[in-house]
Chains A and B, each alone.
Chain A
Amino acid sequence: MSSSLAPECSEKKERYDTCFIKWYSEKYLRGEGSTNECEGLFKEYKSCLDAALKQKGIHSMIEEARKTSPNNDNAKGLK
């Protein structure tokens, strides 16, 4: 698995990534993917990541991109 941009979040990220890959390959691809069993681990990782993104000033760049980028939910093919 890849590292996190914030080293302090890497452990939490690894726990989440491991859970996700297992869910994706064993459940989602087999059509049993409606439940989100990794949500708890994601929340832990995300709260760590969000703090780092704010500290590094990346958070506002992401927010801006979400608003202006054609690369979002409404983009062709992502509907």
Chain B
Amino acid sequence: MKVFESSCTFEYPWANVSIANWRKYGSWNTQSTHVVAVDTLSRSVDPRTGILTRHLKLRTERLITCKQNAPRWLMKIVGGAEESYVREVSSVDPQQQTVTLRSMNLTGSNIISVQETVVYSPDPSSPKTKTRFQQDAQITAYGAFSKICGAIEDWSVERFGQNALKGRLGFESVLEMSSKAFRDMKLEEGGWRR
């Protein structure tokens, strides 16, 4: 098993980031070209999570479609599927101000498991204006030959890192565009009620 970890701070308030999160893989992100589609499978406001309306958690299940080039040796092992699918279950906690996204690959899951967790929360240094992004992934290849597993894991960790960097750069432009679009909503300060 290999572990990938990354974190950074976005110079936007949590509310803006949590809105932009739903647009992360749209046309405003020109970097993450490996994500070709994002579909919502189910979504619900959980009535069990709070008595007050503003404490209700939002649960969303999405299907993310990816298309990316892999080396020939790896394509042979995983069966050469052109498109791969990832299932993501996320939870928004408006009271704690967190967005937690957990995802796992559906394609090739008998050969490799990639489990990712992303959390967006207010940055402790300036919780009203900055948002912390924390990402970790556990990558495990299954198989009889540890050498091949190691090679698959190494390639996957490397690609995961490349995609994570693209994701961060792409999300910066989404945040900029999204903040322009929502500027008149005054989410920055008083508009957001805790």
Contacts and interface: CB of A to CB of B under 8 A. Distances in A.
Q: Indicate, yes or no, whether A interacts with B.
A: yes
Interface of A: 1-6, 9, 13, 16-17, 20-21, 24-26, 28-34, 36, 42, 45, 49, 53, 58, 61-62, 65, 69-73, 75, 77-78
Interface residues of B, number: 48
A61 B191 CA distance: 42
Contacts of A69: 87, 104
B39 A1 contact: no
26 contacts: A2-B37, A3-B37, A5-B63, A17-B22, A21-B23, A24-B22, A25-B15, A25-B19, A28-B45, A29-B19, A29-B94, A29-B187, A31-B52, A31-B54, A33-B54, A33-B56, A34-B47, A58-B63, A58-B85, A61-B106, A61-B107, A62-B87, A65-B109, A75-B102, A78-B91, A78-B102
Contact of B39 (A5, A25, A30, A72): A5
B37 A31 contact: no
Contacts of A25: 15, 19, 182, 185, 187
B193 A36 contact: no
Given A5-B39, A73-B59, A33 B89 contact: no
Interface string B17-30: 01100110111000
Contacts of B106: 58, 61-62, 65
Contacts of B18: 29
B39 A49 contact: yes
Nearest to B98: A77
Given A65-B104, A71-B102, A77-B100, A1 B63 contact: no
Contacts of A65: 87, 104, 106, 109
Interface string B29-48: 00000011111110101010
B45 A34 contact: yes
A59 to B, nearest CB: 10
A34 B50 CA distance: 11
Given A70-B115, A71-B104, 15 more contacts: A1-B27, A2-B35, A2-B38, A5-B83, A24-B22, A28-B92, A29-B15, A30-B54, A33-B54, A49-B39, A61-B107, A71-B102, A71-B115, A78-B89, A78-B102
